[in-house]
Structure 1
Amino acid sequence: MDNSPRRADAESPQSLDYETIEVETLVVGAGAAGARAAIEMVESGVDPEDVLVIGKRGHGDAHTTWARGGINGALGTRDPEDDWTIHAADTLKEGHFVNDPGKVEAVARAMPALLRELDDWGMAFSRTDDGDIDQRYFGAQSFRRTAFAGDHTGESLLDTLVARARELDIPYRENVFVSKLLTGDGRILGAAGYDTDTGEFVLFDADVVILAAGGYTSLYRRHSSRDDENTGDGPALAALAGATLQDMEFVQFHPTGMVGGRYGEEWDGRLVTEAVRGEGGRLFNADGERFMRRYAPDQMELAARDVVARAIASEVEAGRGTDDGGVYLDISHRERAFIEERLPRMDERFADLGVDMAEEPVVVAPTAHYGMGGVVVDDSGQTDVEGLYAIGETMAGVHGANRLGGNSLAETIAFGAITGNAVAARRGETRGHRGDEGLLHSRATQHFADLARLTDADGSHDPEDLLDDLRDLLWDAAGIRRDGAGIEAGLDALERVAGRASDLAVGDRTSDSFEFALDLGFALVVAESILRSARERTESRGAHYRTDYPDRDASWQQNIRVTHDSIGAMHLTTHAVGTPSPAVQRALDADYQLDYHQLE
């Protein structure tokens, strides 16, 4: 790895210093997907010095830690009849059959061995009395296949991966914001960005870039992410570099987010893990009715997430919600010791807020939680751009129209391993763009000049305010329920936000406002793709529910893809969905169903 200072060309608006880092493979994003990809490369024989993992925040501080409830894999600990084909079938059904079957099957097939590998690496899984990795129920799953570490699974997972990466001496750099991917002749050349602590520009000269930069759900008014993560960086960076997006209209609203009116704005939208319902938690409206009997009498609280979220929204709109605009989630019928053992983080969080889960219910309402859409990739995770890969929530294909709970962490681990292995195997093929160094530096200096002009800009609009306006318009136009008129209104409002975004008031490059300004640029790309895709899909399927087209339409069993032309204009096309393997088709035909009432 070579670090050397460079100065921008004299033709640039001003002379700019920047650091250049040469590395074979750059991993953008230090959550579970990025960490697992880097680990796989090194374990496949790549020298650690040829890999660099970078993150926007401190090491170990990634969105992965907020995934609490569990990670799926057909271990059969509790239900020996479960297997990977049934896991794949459940995923396809939950995705309303617009998933990529090959990617679904790759994840489901890989997960049992990958869970055991994590166990070997020391992950603190919860255990059965016999010492096996325990598994719990999660919504819309036929069997108990969600492995877990109490209700802090994502945190424990990332701790395990970070520890493993350190054992392997994998280099890491924190507090770096990647603002542009640099390409030439259809292949990746590197990435440009800046150090958020110092404001200094950084150029990464890389043969391969793996994007593991998360999703886009914090672009909604109520969301389960922190405001500075899941802002659409990954999909937008890839799209602007020439990659294709898919399924952007499918945004999952988790049924149980905290309600700010009761717990304070700091907690508004934060996740109340599905593990609470997986351990027997019950939903009640303000009239004391267990209302899921009206919407999903067989699966009740463990129905698909889109079903439960719409049910809660319907109860609130019908006047049967709480004063805070939510409903009650109650697990107080369980013993205190059970709650403390199985849901320790939730128990502690609510205790700090003055609520005893063993004695009283908590108030919840739907919150934007996961973007099923993302970047189109092949079976190895590579995008349309040679040398550019996308994994984790940045990629599309696994989840279709609605994500099965417990599959997000599974996807990060499975495709982290798949892509890391593929990149290691292709090292000889990906080397050799060094003749493009002149083009790389030319494009980098142009971008750094743009960033320099943005620095300390004395405009009229605060980028954070515009982000809030964008969040409001997406919530209203492309939320839990949508219609054509609302989507059109959202597109009009988005155009107005984009107009104001050309006149920003921004601080220096170490300021929050500078980062918000870049987030806003990504958000505009992603929001337009969500709205235009939602307008195009004239049916209701999974998380995409249109009140003017309330039924599922068989002719829409296809994916909507989004591309950008050379001048940045957005274009939509449709793409046929693949066919499951015979083994998974047999599992689909068997039509396994969760017997929720085992929990009663």
Structure 2
Amino acid sequence: MELERHAYDVVVVGAGGAGLRAAIAAHEAGARTAVVCKSLLGKAHTVMAEGGIAAAMGNAWPEDGWRVHFRDTMRGGKMLNHWRMAQIHAQEAPDRVRELEDWGALFDRTPDGLISQRDFGGHRYARLAHVGDRTGLELIRTLQQRTVALGVDVFMECTVTRLLTDADGVTGAFGYWRESGRFVAWEAPSVVLATGGIGKAWKVTSNSWEYTGDGHSLALHAGAGLVNMEFVQFHPTGMVWPPSVRGILVTESVRGDGGVLRNSAGNRFMFDYIPDFFRKETAETEDEADRWYEDKKNNRRPPELLPRDEVARAINSEVKAGRGSPHGGVFLDIASRRPAEYVRRRLPSMYHQFKELADVDITAEAMEVGPTCHYVMGGVEVDPDTAAASVPGLFAAGEVAGGMHGSNRLGGNSLSDLLVFGRRAGAAAAEHAAKRAGVVALAEEALADAARAALAPFEREGGENPYTVQSELQQTMHDLVGIIRTRAEVEQALGRIAALRERVAAVSVEGHRQYNPGWHLALDLPHLLLVSECVARAALEREESRGGHTRDDFPAADPEWGRTNLVCTRTADGAVTVARQPLPQMPPELAEVFEEQS
């Protein structure tokens, strides 16, 4: 077998914000570090994060601080977050933003020259550090520049298909070059997963092609557990027209800067959907909501800035009631609320996106938007302080890691999350690698088995086209495991997933290994099926509605479930099992934060 081999201390799988921040931390800790990414460096999904980085820096409101940010994060996640992760995140986010500035990030500024911070749904104060509506792009540019300057090796357009382990933990990874199809292996005592999410399992998604659940699946196969997989966030505002761009994200910044949601009758319907949990701090009349933009300290927030799960369900309800826009969404209107120059300055990417893709001038007319699969709160169960999984030598950060966001993620928390825990994962991975230096080796039998599995689609004849199978999986998840779920529908989805698994095992591809998209998808499909099954099984088990998980047959939140996590693991025969696990107990001094804020 022709095989390219490399040896490192730390291998980071994924080159988004979490992966690059982990690689920088590992390198600075003295580890020989490599980054492996499916796409080109700089094209990670992080660039699509437009609104800003949530960090309680106090630049807009001196009253803001980590305790308020912690409280907002926990409440946004409906108290199912791992309290320690939420605490670390809130405490360290401001330093990570200032660090980016030190490395050359060009943030928008206040009149006093401080980093500007904008409003976002679920946050008590304006705390999102931003660069117009291109914050993710600036974050990646800055981290990429530093990664390259430090001399970290980067393997671009290279896919990892298997993590390699022995009795003592991780020994490395196996994969292939996407262009040539040649196999490559990395010997390393530490691997950091930073592979992002699972959105390509759904028909309508804001996620790019890379988000096929690789990291979640690789971790499961290696023996780690996945927590909170039932919680999938459907961002309330994705483009709905034309069909070719359906699902592309419309940043929450539009609502943070004054945009409002209207139904087909022109009504601001969000006033009808304010949950009791947020009623004390949410405006209940249009006049009261409008005054908030003029006097934020003394007026309650507009309902368009409720957490994403609440807004997505409200939009879904309006469309189901027949009050949607012509193409199956609702209207997002900033044109009547802000001057054209303001919109073009504050939201340049959104202006360009709608003008070029939908021939809509958002300074003159409303946008048609609707929910789109955007983010998975569930992921690899990790230690809060080190981002270490249960498998020695395996670490995870960013969207592929679970626990930080509970049942629902607040906008802007994803970028600070990947900075905070990317750094911690990289540092801990380097420390672990130093302890295992010189004692790991790649087993030849394991390498040969990984190669056979990768080539199997070429050996089969007359099998199905992988694109057909993926399309049916996406339709299944869209129809049966979407925003609103029922027992009967989820059970039906599990039946379809079981049938699809048999079909995936028989998928065949033609041609050569040189850049062959059909082969690439054939290797991605088992990952997609596995994470889809985890979502469906956890959704079936959790008999309540909370955050990003809504059961129509159990519409209320259950206090008992509010103290319980679900963890998915994989048995030796490949079956997915779901176990209940008590939520970690928050210490009294942190519980007092909620009394202070109430």
The answer (yes or no) to whether the contact 1:253–1:309 under 8 Å persists in 2 is yes
The one of 180, 189, 212 equivalent to 2:194 is 212
Structure 2 SS opposite 1:401 = coil
Give, as a single letter, the amino acid of the residue that structure 2 aligns with 1:156. Answer: E
| Equivalent residue number for residue 340 of structure 2 | 336
- How far apart are the structure 2 equivalents of 1:87 and 1:80? 13
Is residue 252–residue 403 contact of structure 1 (8 Å, CA) maintained in 2? Answer: yes
SS for the counterpart of 1:189 is: strand
Aligned-pair distance for 1:452?
Answer: 2.1
User: How far does the alpha carbon of each residue in 1:33-67 deviate from its partner, in whole angstroms, 9 at most, with x for none?
Assistant: 01001111222333xxx111111011111010111
**Offset of 1:583 from its aligned partner?**
4.5
Distance 1:270 1:456, change over 3 A: farther
Asked if 1:278 is matched to 2:283, the reply is no
In the alignment, the residues of structure 2 paired with residue 535 and residue 543 of structure 1 have an alpha-carbon distance, to the nearest angstrom, of: 14
Find out whether 1:318 has 2:299 as its counterpart. Answer: no
Picking from 240, 249, 268, the partner of 2:230 is 249
Take 2:102 and 2:204, find their aligned partners in 1: how far apart are those partners?
38
Once the two structures are overlaid, the 10-residue window that deviates more, 72-81 or 186-195, is: 186-195
Matched with 1:370 is 375
Is residue 199 from structure 1 mapped to residue 177 from structure 2 by the alignment?
no
Query: What SS class does the counterpart of residue 143 from structure 1 fall into?
Result: coil
Structure 1 counterpart of 2:90, which letter?
A: A
- In the alignment, the residues of structure 2 paired with residue 219 and residue 337 of structure 1 have an alpha-carbon distance, to the nearest angstrom, of 39
**What whole-Å deviation, never above 9, does each CA across 1:192-250 have from its counterpart, x for those lacking one?**
11100111011111111111111112211110012x22110010010011110111000
Q: How many Å separate the matches in 1 of 2:430 and 2:526?
A: 33
| Unpaired segments ≥5 residues, structure 2 | 275-281, 284-301
Deviations 1:242-266 (A, max 9, x none): 110111000000000001xx3231x
One-letter code of the match for 2:360? V
Contact kept in structure 2, 1:86 and 1:584, CA below 8 Å? no
Find out whether 1:35 has 2:20 as its counterpart.
Answer: yes
1:162 alignment counterpart? 144
Root-mean-square deviation (Å) = 1.3
Q: 1:264 aligns with which of 236, 243, 253?
A: 243
Deviation at 1:464, TM superposition (A): 1.4
- 1:477 Cα offset (Å): 1.6
Residue equivalent to 2:308 = 305
Whether contact under 8 Å (1:88, 1:584) holds in the other structure is no
Structure 1 unmatched runs, 5+? 1-15, 593-600
Question: In structure 2, which of residues 335, 351, 368 is the aligned counterpart of residue 347 of structure 1?
Answer: 351
**1:152 lines up with 2:134 in the alignment:** yes
Paired residue for 2:593? 587
Task: Give the C-alpha shift of residue 579 in structure 1.
Answer: 3.0
CA distance in 1, matches of 2:429, 2:576: 30
Counterpart residue identity of residue 23, structure 2? A
- Does structure 1 retain, via aligned residues, the 8 Å contact 2:16–2:46? yes
Cα-to-partner distance string for 1:536-560 (whole Å, 9 max, x where unaligned): 0001111100010001001112110
Match of 1:290 among 253, 262, 268: 268
One-letter identity of the residue aligned with 2:401:
M
- Residues of 1 paired with 2:486 and 2:597: CA distance? 32
C-alpha distance in 2 between matches for 1:526 and 1:264: 26
1:425 partnered with 2:431: yes
Shift of 1:456: 6.1
- Native 8 Å contact 2:172 2:189 kept in 1: yes
SS at 2:584's partner residue?
Answer: coil
* Alpha-carbon distance in 2 for matches of 1:428, 1:204: 17
Q: How far off its partner does 1:581 sit?
A: 4.2
CA offset at residue 496 of structure 1?
1.5
Q: How many angstroms apart in 1 are the aligned matches of 2:584 and 2:463?
A: 49
Letter aligned with residue 126 of structure 1? D
Contact 1:252/1:369 (CA < 8 Å) preserved in 2? yes
Corresponding residue to 2:537 among 521, 532, 536: 532
Q: Which residue of 2 aligns with 1:385?
A: 391
Match of 1:236 among 217, 221, 225: 217
Structure-2 separation of matches of 1:88 and 1:217: 27
Distance in 1 (CA, whole Å) between partners of 2:157 and 2:99 is: 30
Q: TM-score, normalised by structure 1?
A: 0.93
Distance 1:147 1:56 in 2: 29
2:406 alignment partner, one of 394, 400, 405:
400
Q: Deviations 1:422-459 (Å, cap 9, x if unpaired)? A: 2233343132433x44xx22101111022223236423
2:278 alignment partner in structure 1: none
Q: How many residues end up aligned between the 2 structures?
A: 567
- Pick aligned residue for 1:53 from 11, 35, 41: 35
Residue in 2 that maps onto 1:7:
none
Cα separation, 2, equivalents of 1:179 and 1:424? 23
CA distance in 2 between counterparts of 1:289 and 1:582 reads 44
CA distance in 2, matches of 1:455, 1:173: 25
Alignment of 1:495-534 (within 5 A): 495-507=498-510, 508-509=512-513, 510-534=515-539
The range that moved more, 457-466 or 31-40, is 457-466
Q: Any conservation in 1 of the 2:236–2:309 contact (CA below 8 Å)?
A: yes
Q: Structure 2 matches for 1:63-78, cutoff 5 A?
A: 63-78=45-60
Q: Secondary structure at the match of 1:337?
A: helix
Equivalent positions of 1:419-498 (< 5 A) are 419-434=425-440, 436-437=441-442, 440-455=443-458, 457-498=460-501
Q: Is the 8 A contact 1:195 1:202 kept in 2?
A: yes
SS of equivalent residue, structure 2 residue 189: strand
CA distance in 1, matches of 2:109, 2:30: 33
* Contact map agreement 2:122 2:305 (CA 8 A) in 1: yes
Match of 1:414 in 2: 420
Task: Find the counterpart in structure 1 of residue 557 from structure 2.
Answer: 552
TM-score where L is the length of structure 2: 0.93
Secondary structure of the equivalent of 2:526?
A: helix
Provide the residue aligned with 1:9 in structure 2: none
* AA partner of residue 467 (structure 2): E
For the residues of structure 1 that align with 2:387 and 2:458, how far apart are their CA atoms?
35
Deviations 1:56-100 (CA, angstroms, capped at 9, x unpaired): 011111010111111110001111101011111111111111111
Alignment of 1:126-145 (within 5 A): 126-145=108-127
The letter for the 1-side match of 2:485 is R
User: Are positions 1:82 and 2:55 aligned together?
Assistant: no
> In structure 2, what is the Cα distance between the partners aligned to 1:176 and 1:456?
22
